[in-house]
Amino acid sequence: MNKNVLVTGGAGYIGSHACKALKIAGYTPVTYDNLVTGWQDAVKFGPFEQGELTDRARLDEVFATYQPIAVMHFAALSQVGEAMHQPGRYWHNNVAGSLALIEAAVAAECLDFVFSSTCATYGDQDNVVLDENTAQYPTNSYGASKRAIEDILRDFESAHGLRKVIFRYFNVAGADPDAEVGEFHQPETHLIPLMLQAIAGKRDKLTVFGTDYPTPDGTCIRDYVHVCDLVDAHVLGLEWLKDGKGSRVFNLGTGHGFSVREVIDHSRSVTNRDVPHDVGPRRAGDCTKLVSGSMRAETELGWTPTRSKLHTMIADAWRWQQTGHYDK
Ligand code: UDP
């Protein structure tokens, strides 16, 4: 039986971990990636097709070749800072690209769609519990582009019978404990890999973006979730759709927030090394606090995160970092 799943962004950080999880679960992940932010040597678990999301003819060809039973859509530009300065790239690549993909999926009658959205769609909301019913007010073009794709999926559900599971991620961290795949962005902008690079001496220092936020230690608070737990939820989401349970939105976070300073302290204790850092101004577009307020993924999907303790995430990321996989 055909168990092909089209994984856009399968050469990227989360997509490559998803391909491994799909393969282990008995599916064949077919990676579709333009290699702008992904890496071909991260495609280890199934076939690779290079292409742009906006290239509808290429998408049609790939759907015809593999006849996938579902789409997992990870491919996106995802840097908040960059999104603030280049919104056009975000609307073009993320929104226009996703629209082409969704249209191609519907044309190919591939109607089960798992989408990687983000807690950035909620925006900066003080004293609000962030669950799946919370109104979405993104503060940056990255979050806005993801919210727009959620809207497109909703409209294609009403008009064309698309079924979707939308995952709104909190902060994804860690790496495959076997270190077969891991996180590598160029340039890197995320807190934990930057911190580990500073600890390893691969960069001078980490700059803490703002210590004047209204939080106990003045730094931003995030809810970190292990990439392996996150992709396990995607396999459950795929099975949810295949069981005919219909469209659903799930937050993916642990419900526990850590400040930037707390992440620094944990990194120091995991690596037993000093964390070279200084303090800089706030980064435009950053929210004060993003912590999931929902257990829906646990209660409905049966998701049980097993590696999302902060020290485990940092230890797995550190192991990956020490492989020197992408060191030039
Ligand atoms: N951060 C920081 N210095 C950096 C990178 C990030 O202080 O060099 C902070 C950032 O302001 C945010 C948190 O770390 O509060 C997580 O940022 P990241 O870019 O990892 O994820 P985001 O929350 O933007 O998706």
pLDDT tens digit string along 83-98? 989 999 999 999 999 9
Read off the pLDDT of each residue in 52-58 and give the average, rounded to a whole number.
98
Residue 90 is a catalytic residue: no
Q: How far is it, in rounded angstroms, from Cα 184 to Cα 242?
A: 32
Q: Where in the chain is the domain with CATH 3.40.50.720?
A: 4-173+224-252
Q: Which of 122, 142, 169, 213 is catalytic?
A: 142
pLDDT of 34 above 70: yes
Just give the CATH number of 191-222+255-323: 3.90.25.10
Burial string for 198-233 (b: 16+ CB within 10 Å, else e) reads bbeeeeeebebbbbebebeeebbbbbbbbbbbbbbb
Read off the pLDDT of each residue in 301-326 and give the average, rounded to a whole number.
95
Name the residue at shortest CA distance from atom 10 of ligand 1: 209
**Ligand 1 touching residue 221 (CB < 6 A):** no
pLDDT tens digit string along 66-125? 999 999 999 999 988 889 899 999 999 999 999 999 999 999 999 999 999 999 999 988
Read off the pLDDT of each residue in 254-258 and give the average, rounded to a whole number.
97
Does residue 17 sit in helix, strand or coil?
Answer: helix
pLDDT of 156 above 60: yes
For the chain, how far is it from start to end, CA to CA, in angstroms? Answer: 42
Main-chain phi, psi angles of 172, to 5 degrees: -85, 135
What is the torsional sign of CA 183, 172, 77, 70? Answer: positive
Q: How far is it, in rounded angstroms, from Cα 106 to Cα 96?
A: 15
pLDDT tens digit string along 269-285? 999 999 999 999 999 88
pLDDT of 218 above 60: yes
pLDDT of 328 above 70: no
Distance 246 CA to ligand 1 centre (A): 34
Distance 216 CA to ligand 1 centre (A): 17
Distance 161 CA to ligand 1 centre (A): 38
**Cα-based distances in Å from 241 to 24, 156, 196, 238, 312:** 19, 16, 38, 5, 30
Q: How far is it, in rounded angstroms, from Cα 177 to Cα 313?
A: 9
Distance 290 CA to ligand 1 centre (A): 11
Q: To test ligand 1's pocket by mutation, which of 168, 188, 260 has the most ligand atoms within 8 angstroms of CB?
A: 260
Q: Can you tell me which atom of ligand 1 is nearest the CA of 285?
A: 24
pLDDT of 22 above 90: yes
In terms of Cβ atoms closer than 10 Å to its own Cβ (0-12, 13-18, 19+), residue 99 is: middle
Q: Across all residues in the chain, what is the average pLDDT? A: 96
The pLDDT of residue 197 = 96
Name the residue at shortest CA distance from atom 5 of ligand 1: 191
Name the residue at shortest CA distance from atom 6 of ligand 1: 191
Q: Where in the chain is the domain with CATH 3.90.25.10?
A: 191-222+255-323
Strands 48-50 and 70-73: what pairing? unpaired
Name the residue at shortest CA distance from atom 1 of ligand 1: 191
Res. 324 pLDDT band, cuts 50 70 90: confident
Give percent of the chain with pLDDT exceeding 70: 100
Give percent of the chain with pLDDT exceeding 90: 91
Name the residue at shortest CA distance from atom 19 of ligand 1: 190
Nearest Cα residue to 112 out of 162, 67, 78? 162
Cβ-contact 135, 93 below 8 angstroms: no
Just give the CATH number of 4-173+224-252: 3.40.50.720
Res. 63 pLDDT band, cuts 50 70 90: very high
The pLDDT of residue 80 = 83
Q: How far is it, in rounded angstroms, from Cα 326 to Cα 88?
A: 29
pLDDT of 173 above 80: yes
Does residue 289 sit in helix, strand or coil?
Answer: strand
**Ligand 1 touching residue 220 (CB < 6 A):** yes
Q: Can you tell me which atom of ligand 1 is nearest the CA of 81?
A: 24
Distance 195 CA to ligand 1 centre (A): 10
